[in-house]
Structure 1
Amino acid sequence: MAATGFVTLVVSVVTLIHYYLWRRLVRATTLPGRTRRVLTWVVAGLAVLVPATLIGSRAGWGHFLAWPGSSGSR
């Protein structure tokens, strides 16, 4: 039960942060059209990668998703 609440909290925070970034960096700076759609999908993909990396690293298959945050040493 506690794990479900924690996961819900993490996903909510990640979603809100990426929504804020999308509003400030994509919606406020680009006109409606192809560029905005592409950037929206990029921001959405980055938001999905955060929990996928956390879950995947625990399951053993997410180490390749975490390479941008690694220090380069194993």
Structure 2
Amino acid sequence: MIVQISEHLRASAPVALARLAYHYPELSFALVDEVIEVLGENFDEAVIRREVSYALYRQHLFVQSLPLRAALLATLSHP
């Protein structure tokens, strides 16, 4: 199965794929150019496609929120 990924999510793919490999050890995930290739047997493509999208967006939002988290922590750490 091939899952297309948006250009703005590509940087999040390696971490997302590591998380997916942990959750789905029976499947193989690989980043190939601008797609994620999923290999395995007997899996629900709709479910895995949703999980890949969720993992990508989750990591993307986490990285985007890091500066905000750092600023908040700095504000709370200094009286």
Classify the TM-score, shorter chain.
0.3 to 0.5
Structure with more relative contact order (C-alpha pairs < 8 Å, separation 6 or more): 2
Q: From the two aligned structures, give the one with the greater strand fraction.
A: 2
Larger radius of gyration: 2
